[in-house]
Amino acid sequence: MPDQAPTPRSTPSSRPLTVRRITRGEHSRFLAEHPEASFLQNPQWPGVKIDWRGDSVGFYDGETLRATALVLFRRLPVPLPVLKRRSLAYIAEGPVFDRTSVDLESVLAPLVQYLKSRGAFLVRVGLPGVVNRWDGAEVRRALAAGDHRSVTQLEPIHTAPEAEDLRARLTALGWRAPAESEEFEAGQPQFQARIPLQPELDAPGPDGTPAEPNQNGESPALEAALNRMDSTSRRQTRKSTRSELTVTVGTAEDLPAWQALYEETATRDGFTGRPLAYFQRMFTELNAGDSGADTECTLYLAHFGDQLLAAAIYVRQAQFSWYVYGASSAEERKRYAPRALQLRQIQDSLAAGCTWYDLGGMSPSLDPGYELAGLTRFKTTMGADVIQTYGEWDYPVNRPLAAAFNLYMARRS
């Protein structure tokens, strides 16, 4: 998310809030007033994650809705009658609230009590906000040099002044901080790659004159995004526009073609992919017409003639956009079809007024020989900065069950 973090404790109100379930419509209307919120807090998301049970909850000051949270519940993978309805309660990128008027403790304390009453043995919360941000070009140079172990050893270009105070407050309340790891965590990665965008550069001047494109026909905002790339990525991206590719927006009927290319990519790159039904649900739910949260899920396709060379699934919610999944063919690589799709996603993000384009998680390791080093290199050459979020904090409601669950997850991974 943007470089935002909870404000100092003295500023907002700390009056206790009342927690109760809310409708999807109430939840969506609240998110529409918070353009920084992640699509992982969209009330349509449980329709995608069908292995979880989802609840929309609201935090009230009297009759005024001050905060919301999408809670996903997951039962323990042990069919013992004694566990009854015990479950993990998971909140990704939430709760969502105005940190200038609502105190963090006034949200988390009633949240824990509410979820305890719903049978949660462990509450896991991925608090939104940025702790540190590092310049992508500097990260790329450090990775090439190999003289740093972690991105955290570099000097950030932004640090949230409230971060240490917030961590101390959470610890005092009994919350457990996420462990440092070079691997991707089970939930949302603590380190992520995000490209800052400047849509305001394309705004007309004071006299109403439109912003002038450069010699390549690129608007000022797009030119700024391309200038963040390294020279190779920028050259390949521009070459993709001259490679006889046809870039289109797909429909639900194109998802089987996406799936075939995605499975080809998974086999080639050695990862376990998701089934077609998952993407069909994602496409349907996030494009539901009754959502008031200004959300869209788009399938992009890049063809050379009749041959599908690359595809991507993109999500936008308000002023934030995400490159969520990608797939590509091993054929016609020099046409740079994946670059063409990245360019299209950046263009559409700028047209929608987005200020950030998220390329997903990454490892903080700066070891050039580390298995995920290539991913860090690719994302930073695309112009992304590296950001560190607050990560996912745990509150063990039932300590023995929470310990058993974490042991199970550690062994499974």
CATH number at residue 104: 3.40.630.30
pLDDT at 188: 87
Q: Are residues 382 and 241 in the same domain?
A: yes
Q: Would 277 be classed as within a structural domain? A: yes
Q: Are residues 384 and 394 in the same domain?
A: no
d(CA 51, CA 105): 30
Q: Would 170 be classed as within a structural domain? A: no
Q: Would 110 be classed as within a structural domain? A: yes
pLDDT at 221: 97
Q: Are residues 295 and 406 in the same domain?
A: no
Beta bridge partners of 320: 317, 356
CA distances from 183 to 1, 187, 206, 360, 408 (A): 21, 11, 49, 14, 17
d(CA 45, CA 38): 11
pTM over the 0.85 mark: yes
Contacts with 289 (C-beta within 8 Å, 6 or more apart), sequence order: none
Write down the residue that tokens 């299209």 correspond to. Answer: 344
Q: Are residues 119 and 246 in the same domain?
A: no
Q: Would 200 be classed as within a structural domain? A: yes
Both tokens of residue 211?
């912003």
Q: Are residues 370 and 401 in the same domain?
A: no
Q: Which domain holds residue 273?
A: 192-388
Q: Are residues 340 and 221 in the same domain?
A: yes
Q: Are residues 209 and 228 in the same domain?
A: yes
Residue type, 204: P
Q: Are residues 342 and 408 in the same domain?
A: no
Q: Kindly state the DSSP code that residue 384 receives in the 8-state scheme.
A: P
Domain count, the chain: 2
Write down the residue that tokens 């949230």 correspond to. Answer: 160
d(CA 60, CA 109): 13
d(CA 303, CA 201): 31
Q: Would 171 be classed as within a structural domain? A: no
CA distances from 285 to 58, 135, 200, 230, 290 (A): 21, 35, 31, 36, 10
Q: Are residues 319 and 396 in the same domain?
A: no
Give yes or no for a contact between 211 and 339, defined as CB atoms under 8 angstroms apart: no
State the pairing for strand pair 158-159/191-196. unpaired
pLDDT at 408: 73
Q: Are residues 116 and 208 in the same domain?
A: no
Q: Are residues 289 and 219 in the same domain?
A: yes
Q: Are residues 246 and 315 in the same domain?
A: yes
pLDDT at 10: 43
Calculate the CA 35 to chain-centre distance. Answer: 14
Q: Would 237 be classed as within a structural domain? A: yes
Q: Would 305 be classed as within a structural domain? A: yes
Q: Would 172 be classed as within a structural domain? A: no
HEC profile of 341-375: HHHHHHHHHHHCCCCEEEEEECCCECCCCCCCHHH
HEC profile of 306-354: CEEEEEEEEEEECCEEEEEEEEECCCCHHHCHHHHHHHHHHHHHHHCCC
Give yes or no for a contact between 396 and 402, defined as CB atoms under 8 angstroms apart: yes
Rounded mean pLDDT for each run of 10 residues along the chain, 413 residues in total: 45 78 95 94 96 96 96 77 77 94 92 95 95 97 95 97 94 92 75 97 86 91 97 97 97 98 96 96 89 85 98 96 98 98 98 97 94 94 97 93 78 65
